[in-house]
Chain A
Amino acid sequence: MTRPPRIARALLRLFVPADVRDSVEGDLAELYSAQTNSRGRVSAALSYWQEALSFSVRFALDRIRRSVRVVGSIRDAASPDTGRERSTAWLESVGGDARFALRLFARKPLSSTTIVLVLAIGIAACVTVYGALQSAIMRPPPGVPRDRSLVLVRRMARPKEQPVWSPARFSYPSLLEMAAQRSIFAGVAGWTESTVSVDVPGALDGAAAKAQFVTGGYFSVLGLRPAFGSVLPTPPPNAPAEPQLDAVISESMWEDAFARKDVTNDVLMVNGVAVRIVGVAPSQFNGVTAGADDGRTRLWLPLSTRATILAAGTGADASATAALSSVDSTLFQVVGRLAPGVSPERATAAVRVIAANAVSEMTPPGANGSNAAKPPVVYDADVVSLQGSTDALQVALGIPPGPGLAWLLTLFGTLATLLLLVVCTNVAALAVSGAIERRGEIAVRLSLGASRARVIRQLLTESVILSACGGVLGLATLWGVTIALRRIPTTAFFRPDFGTAAFTMSLAVGTGILCGLAPALHATRNGVAAALKDTTTGASRRSRLHHTFVVVQVTFTQPLLMVVGMFIGAAMLEAKQPLPDGVPERVLKLRVDIASIRGSSAEKVRAMDRLQRQIAQTAGVTAVLPEPEPVGVATLRVRPEDRGSNTGPADPVSAQMWVTAPGYFNLIGVRLLRGSDIATSSDTNTTIIIGSDLARRLWGVMDPIGRRFSEIAPSRTGSRDLVVSGVYDSRYFDRSQPLLVFRPVAKLQSGEYLIRTAVPASTLVDSTRRIVREELPSAPITSLISLKQFETEASVNARALDAGLAACGALVLFLSSIGLYGSVALGVRQRRREIGVRMALGARTEQVVTLLFGNGVRLGITGLLLGLPISIAASNRLEQGVATGHAIIGGVIALLVLVVASVATLIPAVRAARVNPVISLQSE
């Protein structure tokens, strides 16, 4: 037996009094059962919902009425006047207005539903975007409490000749020095992260996990309360440095490995070392800054355990211990709690002094016989509030840190604001249209003796009910969106805020209420005669209002669609071409944590060479190569003697340089278009492989092989000429990223391998895993998946973003279409008498349609012209992040908007022209 809708039943339980609830529910269930058999389940459910809402409203009003009777009775016991009757009558009257409003909505379901849906969708969309912005800018990372005194202490570094800063870490002595600044920081905590191997019987078998080794008081500084158990205890100041083998695990690990059972005092093996679990981190907390992977940090351990645990993994006991005392060993990220009255600016000044002292104490580059003199590096440090989880947002959107994020936040803020304007305009147009249609009714009511206040109260009741329904549905939609987003780890930073929702709702709902009320205020201002006279005229000032709505809607819609269209266009134009068929399925990506390999550097290299040889000898494997590795951004200038006609006099090119093993392009199925990837390097020059896009840009159709670049801003000391030895097909690489150039090197040891197979790569996963375990028993495998699976997972964010943008564009178009159609249709209806007169005088249908259609198109063009400056400004602003054909996309968008406006005009025009002129004239 099917049961009635659960939410509708919950509504009944909420509003129907207990003494009659069972019988009401039973009767409705009986009806539902009968209707399911006779009319089907959907019809029965709709009917059940209708009854549930009706029962809820009536019993709620009944309850209010009874409450007023009580109040009135108590008051009348003291003063014998008719206050009771007045208050009861007033409530009865308001109840009557509400019932009339509900009947009106039932008679016009389409227009009422349209307003409610427009409000609901608009509110949900706007609050989602505003909420995402607020979560990114004003809210701390998931699980971290909102506290203005919590700050992130950042260290940055850059090569002296390059402008872009990269994140850097602090040394342990610097961290201690910051903690000693009690006048600046009430508390300081640091952490360093390593990949470890975790074993939990029956759940995890040598799984790679992120472990954060934290200083004492980490959880108390952040104000974190555990979801279960306790946090790591803060050791007393003078406690002996013995490792406390305790751990706090993340909520995700608690779910995956322990099924959320009581884990207190349970033991798990970390790099083969038994560690006791003392508690579970707060819900959704995965660390202060999300990592570059899925950010699912698994466990936190005391810093005192680091040497023991890493030594168990690598056997390098001395290095792990020495790292804590050396200023050269910069391992730590730092978070702090400001002392009362201390500003981030003052803390920044103090931290800069500490960072500068640390730099002066560091070993100079090239000293101690280090085999590679490093280029000079500039350091800086600052203190920023922890209230914005921008790192998480960057990870979620897949954009590199830097000014790009601020630009993106500005863009989304502008999009959300424009969307809210479109929604408000839409709601205003629909509400005013609906209210204007009833001016005749308003005039009749006034003539029958209704007061202005009474008429206004009726319309206000209708507007409030309609807008409230839209607002409630919008909140319900937002609730669903929030639940959906929380299931995606990369959007865990999103949490809608009540203030944001309240602001957006009040704006949209307020628009609906005011715009529904405005015609009544206007109609009743000048008296009955004026109101009646106004209804008998055809074209009037109302048409100017309609024209304004149409123009305003088109004005706001165009730049909104323009921005969305540019992003979608960029994604389509710059999307990389898939690798040749069959290649992604026959390439395995292996990633091993080589830092955990035991032995000296030479032993590690020999171990990795052995690993590569063993994998290459596996049946089904045709080639094994290390993956290319990024080495930094290089600024290149073509040598004067090698310039083509396309190259300007000072035309430097910034490119992301990667080192790659020879044969890489052949392995991934992307043959070089010209030249080869054989590595040659001398004191004066080295070979590079550039993309076909860059080659075409610099030399057109001329052969680029042998032409040379000079590095203007080298990533290392001693610039050499870079000779173009090969050209790869740029279509197979992501062209939205900076230009890529590859430098072949003979030897590459990154711990990341590409394995080309003759059979489906997934069939060789187990054998590869076995080989890694045999050759590198201490090194956990951080990733072993096919290239196909990797590309699918990597493109999830981009696809989600594209889908979101496409949905946004469709939503905007949908909302605008509804608003345009509603406004134009009402305008045409208002001219019904005029149309009737024209046709009675001999005008043909097509002439009338042309007249109305032409008027609508003119309004659309006016709106496009007014929106053009906004679109141009938006596209110029976007050019910083999106390089694509603005003119083409702008033209397409303008055409699309014009088509929508035209169709919205044509349909009501054709319908109006087909009505018998006698009927048109009689209806007035």
Chain B
Amino acid sequence: MLTLYSFRAMTHQVLGEFEQLVLLAMLHLGGEAYGIPIVDEIERRTGRAVARAAVYVTLRRLEEKGYVSSWIGDPTPERGGKGRRYVKIESAGRRALRESRQLVDRMWGELDPASLRSR
């Protein structure tokens, strides 16, 4: 399924919330992150349940955008002879994450999160 987008052009777009969560989870996990621990990390840090399939769809999209790369590990019997797809964040992904954080910080500006408490 071809797309006429330029992948490069998308590096200047802001990441979606869930895309940020996935990338941040990968950063927390460090070297060998794959689907299962990424889901666990997001759930642990956010305290909410995450649809596992959403993580996989997002990883695929991020890889198409060039933000992450992946490789296949060794197959194991408990995985039905299939290897793990490990992912790591690329420089474009780090840049996009940084830009997204900067954008949100600019929007917050001088606003104090404590001032948003309901009265």
Residues of A within 8 A of B (CB): 1, 3, 17, 19-20, 22-27, 29-31, 33, 51, 54-55, 57-59, 62-63, 66-67, 69-70, 73-74, 77
Contact = CB atoms under 8 A, between A and B. Distances in A.
A29 B82 CA distance: 9
B60 interface: yes
List the 6 closest A-B pairs by CB distance, nearest first: A26-B82, A23-B85, A26-B79, A58-B53, A55-B53, A73-B4
Nearest to B59: A20
Given A1-B78, A23-B72, A51-B53, A30 B36 contact: yes
B35 A23 contact: yes
A20 B54 CA distance: 13
Interface of B: 1-5, 34-36, 51-54, 56-57, 60-61, 72, 75-80, 82-85
A19 B51 CA distance: 20
Output the residue of A3, A17, A27, A74 with the most chain B CB within 10 A.
A27
A588 B65 CA distance: 82
Contacts of A73: 3-5
A63 B60 CA distance: 12
A67 B1 contact: yes
Output the residue of A3, A57, A66 with the most chain B CB within 10 A.
A66
Given A67-B1, A70-B4, A22 B51 contact: no
Contacts of B61: 62
Contacts of B77: 1
Contact of B34 (A27, A29, A66, A67): A27
Contact of B80 (A3, A58, A67): A3
A51 B36 CA distance: 12
B79 A30 contact: yes
B1 A23 contact: no
B118 to A, nearest CB: 18
Nearest to A53: B53
Contacts of A63: 1
A26 B79 CA distance: 5
A541 B78 CA distance: 59
Contacts of A33: 78
Contacts of B57: 58-59, 62
B101 to A, nearest CB: 24
Output the residue of B1, B5, B61 with the most chain A CB within 10 A.
B1
A512 to B, nearest CB: 26
A30 B78 contact: yes
Output the residue of A23, A27, A55, A77 with the most chain B CB within 10 A.
A23
24 contacts: A3-B80, A20-B60, A22-B83, A23-B34, A23-B72, A26-B82, A26-B84, A27-B36, A27-B79, A29-B78, A29-B82, A30-B36, A31-B36, A51-B53, A55-B52, A58-B51, A58-B53, A58-B56, A62-B60, A66-B1, A69-B3, A70-B1, A73-B5, A74-B4
A817 B85 CA distance: 50
Contacts of A29: 78-80, 82
Nearest to B51: A54
Given A51-B53, A55-B56, A58-B53, A27 B84 contact: yes
Nearest to A22: B82
B56 A24 contact: yes
Contacts of B54: 58
A25 B53 contact: no
A26 B74 CA distance: 11
Contacts of A66: 1, 3
Contact of A77 (B4, B53, B78): B4
Contacts of A54: 51-53
A31 to B, nearest CB: 7
Contacts of B4: 70, 73-74, 77
Contacts of A69: 3, 5
A921 B83 CA distance: 58
A44 to B, nearest CB: 12
B17 to A, nearest CB: 14
Nearest to B87: A23
A26 B51 contact: no
B66 to A, nearest CB: 15
Given A1-B77, A27-B36, A57-B53, 13 more contacts: A1-B78, A17-B60, A23-B35, A23-B84, A25-B80, A26-B83, A27-B79, A27-B84, A55-B56, A59-B57, A62-B61, A70-B1, A73-B3
Contacts of A51: 52-53
Nearest to A16: B56
Contacts of B82: 22-23, 25-26, 29
Contacts of B78: 1, 29-30, 33
B87 to A, nearest CB: 10
Nearest to B78: A33
A19 B4 CA distance: 20
B35 A27 contact: yes
B19 to A, nearest CB: 14
B109 to A, nearest CB: 28
Nearest to B81: A26
Contacts of A27: 34-36, 79, 84-85
A33 B36 CA distance: 13
Contacts of B51: 54, 58
A87 to B, nearest CB: 14
Contacts of A67: 1
A17 B60 CA distance: 10
A70 B1 CA distance: 8
Output the residue of B51, B60, B79 with the most chain A CB within 10 A.
B79
Nearest to A103: B51
A385 B78 CA distance: 60
A3 B52 CA distance: 20
